[in-house]
């Protein structure tokens, strides 16, 4: 059985659309857990009305704990062998779960990631496409798909036992970036699939669209849990220098933004990335500059004269 966890907080305008897309799935072997996280609008009533209409739906009303706390409640209550998450302002394309659960059962993977439409409703809308591939190394998955760019909790199906002793960190933004590396390290196999689609709607007020000091610090610290060990051991895992360079430059950009906003001491270690083709002039310039200076000097140059938020 698949446990679908839906955190709910003040989403009266989008909740019906979200739940309708779930209950309309052609896959029936699922439970739907609506976690009302202290909503103050009509969302609690809407949750209860849906539970009356569909016996697969259960509702929990709890004091506000934030997105991580709501997801953690769902994890603790889930009865299925598999868990997935749907944000209550998003939706699923028809027939998504039937296709994906067939792949999960066929490959016996521990985690499956599927494609998504991202920032629907904005000029920045994009499509995340993934290969039809199974990875038996979390390192291969992390670098081959550049998973660090899409650590989203919601476009994945997880074997429930991956969460044994693991939960989303409460009080943190970018909680999915903190947790995904820990989950994939426990996975024996990871499947990526071009089937099904998660539809993620843009939310201008969402935390992922903000760059406050706290948010960018959380984002940087999440990646700094991973990057140093990757730099130290990437050769042992047969990761190419170009692959680790791409990740390093990705985190470096976060570090530059963090330094510009906060002015705080740098965390990123020194590394000489290799030149990567087709990554644009800014990336090429940063790569060349890092051949002759350390990241601290580069960050000061990149942020010089820029006003902090």
Q: What is the mean pLDDT of residues 98-112?
A: 96
Q: Which residues pair with 37 in a beta bridge?
A: 62
**pTM beyond 0.75:** yes
CA distances from 285 to 227, 275, 301 (A): 22, 9, 12
Tell whether the model's pLDDT for residue 308 goes beyond 60: no
Tell me what pLDDT residue 206 has: 53
pLDDT digits (tens, 9 = 90+) for 185-229: 999 999 999 999 999 998 765 545 556 888 899 999 999 999 998
Q: Facing residues of 61 across strands?
A: 36
The CA distances from residue 267 to 178, 249, 284, 292, in Å, are 16, 14, 22, 19
Average pLDDT, the chain: 92
Q: Which residues contact 77 (CB under 8 A, 6 or more apart)?
A: 33, 58, 60
- Would you give the end-to-end CA distance of the chain in angstroms? 47
Q: Count the Cβ atoms, other than its own, within 10 Å of residue 123.
A: 6
Handedness of CA 32, 35, 41, 45 (dihedral sign): positive
Q: How many other β-carbons are positioned within 10 Å of the β-carbon of residue 190?
A: 25
Buried b (16+ CB within 10 A) or exposed e, 56-71: bbbbbeeeebbbbbbb
* Six-digit token string for 18: 């979200």
**How does pLDDT run across 158-179, given as a tens digit for each residue?**
999 999 999 999 988 899 999 9
* Pair 92, 11: CB distance under 8 Å: no
The span from the CA of 121 to the CA of 116, in Å, is 14
> Distance between CA atoms of 51 and 47, rounded to whole angstroms?
6
Task: Determine the pLDDT at residue 183.
Answer: 97
DSSP bridge partners of 83: 3, 158
Residue 256 CA to its chain's centroid (Å): 21
Identify the residue with better confidence: 80 or 282: 80
The residue with tokens 């790569």 is 287
Residue identified by tokens 């990567």 is: 276
What is the pLDDT at residue 210? 54
DSSP letter at 6 equals E
Q: Which residue blocks in 213-294 are alpha helix, DSSP H?
A: 213-224, 227-233, 241-262, 281-289
CB-count exposure of residue 252 (10 Å: 0-12, 13-18, 19+)? buried
Q: Which residues pair with 75 in a beta bridge?
A: none
| CB-side neighbour CA atoms (13 Å) of 195 | 16
Using one digit for the tens of pLDDT, what is the confidence trace for 48-65? 999 999 999 999 999 999
Q: pLDDT digits over 257-270, tens only?
A: 999 888 887 789 99
Q: Which two tokens stand for residue 86?
A: 């749907």
């Amino acid at each position: 059985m698949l446990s679908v966890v839906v955190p709910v907080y003040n989403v009266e305008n989008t909740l019906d659309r979200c739940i309708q897309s779930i209950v309309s799935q052609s896959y029936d072997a699922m439970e739907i857990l609506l976690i009302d996280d202290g909503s103050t609008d009509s969302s609690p009533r809407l949750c209860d009305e849906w539970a009356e209409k569909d016996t697969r739906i259960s509702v929990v009303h709890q004091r506000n704990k934030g997105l991580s706390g709501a997801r953690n409640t769902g994890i603790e209550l889930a009865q299925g062998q598999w868990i997935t998450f749907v944000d209550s302002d998003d939706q699923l394309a028809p027939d998504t779960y039937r296709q994906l659960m067939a792949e999960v059962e066929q490959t016996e993977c521990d985690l499956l990631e599927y494609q998504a439409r991202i920032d629907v409703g904005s000029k920045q809308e994009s499509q995340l496409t993934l290969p039809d591939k199974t990875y038996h190394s979390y390192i291969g998955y992390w670098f081959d798909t550049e998973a660090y760019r899409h650590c989203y909790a919601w476009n994945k199906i997880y074997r429930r036992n991956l969460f044994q002793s693991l939960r989303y960190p409460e009080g943190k933004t970018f909680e999915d970036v903190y947790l995904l590396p820990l989950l994939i390290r426990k996975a024996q196999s990871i499947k990526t699939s071009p089937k099904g689609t998660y539809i993620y709607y843009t939310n201008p007020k969402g935390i992922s669209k903000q760059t406050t000091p706290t948010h960018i610090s959380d984002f940087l610290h999440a990646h700094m849990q991973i990057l140093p060990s990757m730099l130290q051991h990437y050769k042992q895992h047969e990761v190419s220098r170009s692959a680790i360079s791409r990740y390093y430059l990705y985190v470096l950009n976060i570090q530059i933004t963090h330094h510009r906003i906060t002015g705080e001491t740098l965390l990123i270690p020194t590394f000489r990335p290799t030149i990567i083709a087709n990554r644009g002039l800014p990336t090429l310039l940063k790569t060349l500059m890092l051949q002759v200076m350390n990241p601290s000097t580069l960050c000061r140059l990149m942020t010089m004269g820029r006003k902090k938020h």
